[in-house]
Copies of this chain bind each other. A is one copy, B any other.
């Protein structure tokens, strides 16, 4: 078993946790990612609203793993797998050369997911997503530029469209994003502008389901919705987006009518699709992926017929071994627990099927407002917000970033400003 080669694909929560779990094992680990950093995606929306800057929520993978002498990092994109010959093929190598590959004895694939536009990829141009750092930076520029445009716009209707923000999807990210835009307009910006009252900005939070934060207990959903409304957010449930254009978002209302809302800024935080790597693995064993591109793995997170291939995170669905599947949310704790499980398995310390320990659920709405379910206990308001804050600071990587993020949050709490309000030019 000594010196087995483990290739880990993806430096997100799942892949990074797996790689770290192998630090003291007698294996050679290669972590491949197309980015040189691990992104703390749950705070990406704060980059989009100028509260935090990218390096504060993104830690270089090399830095995180530098003391782990059995581990190397390769910056590249994985293009395909040869499961028979145990090869991973790489693309977009930093030196521009082609045809590189890695051989493995054990493979961990943690490709994650990306937002899906329900088959309308043409909407992406008008409604950037919030899962990547580049999406968050693009949104920062659009949101801040919209207020600048409103400031110089003399036509009343046009100004209203610049001051209308449509957030699609009311999961935690959509709720947090809508709340942040509300605070930005009401608190951070309103004394900075002369011609326009930024507090008149409209934020529409559009959700196809019957309530915001559908994964939370109903009373907490209602509290979140009330908190959002106090921030000036209009919550539109049972409402579907049927079109996104540069100057308008078309909605289908609960009564079945459709109509357009003039809006120059739309933010996408709705459905996700699994990484194409899930389909690549599925195809290699003659299987299909599900409706959102996910691969079904065995109860021990391996690929059927390939005990040396592990797949984790929100690109997979886990079989319960009895014809059904586990119902796991697409969140960081699931990916991290799966990463830890797989590292143990590779170290030969497996014990039964993977089980998710649900430690709870958190979402913040804004300044001092959040909802939380912690070990079954429901919390809202300030106590939930303190827990939200503590959990996010704890899981951020690096003492320097924790200190800087705390500093930014403290200033933003006191001054109600957002410290990273830059409009990009070439950036992004």
Contacts and interface: CB of A to CB of B under 8 A. Distances in A.
Interface of A: 34-37, 50, 53-56, 58, 60, 62-63, 66-67, 72, 74-76, 93-97, 100, 133-134, 137-138, 144-145, 148-153, 158, 162, 189, 191-195, 398-401, 403-404, 407-408, 411, 415, 417, 419-428
Contacts of A53: 53-56
Nearest to A64: B192
Nearest to A65: B192
Most chain B CB neighbours (cut-off 10 Å) among A34, A95, A96: A95
A34 B195 CA distance: 19
A404 B407 CA distance: 7
19 contacts: A35-B423, A35-B425, A36-B148, A54-B422, A58-B422, A66-B191, A66-B192, A67-B191, A72-B195, A74-B152, A75-B148, A94-B148, A133-B422, A133-B427, A134-B426, A134-B427, A137-B426, A138-B426, A426-B428
A95 B149 contact: yes
A422 B152 contact: no
Contacts of A417: 63, 400
Nearest to A52: B55
A59 to B, nearest CB: 9
A162 B75 CA distance: 15
Most chain B CB neighbours (cut-off 10 Å) among A35, A53, A76, A399: A53
Contacts of A151: 74-75, 94
A29 to B, nearest CB: 11
Copy tally for this chain in the complex stands at 2
Given A37-B422, A95-B153, A162-B95, A54 B427 contact: yes
Given A62-B193, A74-B152, A192-B62, A419 B55 contact: yes
Contact of A152 (B95, B424, B427): B95
Nearest to A419: B400
A400 B407 contact: yes
A396 to B, nearest CB: 13
A58 B95 CA distance: 32
Contact of A55 (B398, B422, B425): B422
A95 B158 contact: yes
Ranked 7 nearest A-B pairs via Cβ: A55-B420, A95-B149, A134-B426, A62-B192, A94-B148, A94-B149, A72-B194
Contact of A428 (B100, B158, B428): B428
A419 B407 contact: no
A317 to B, nearest CB: 29
Nearest to A246: B96
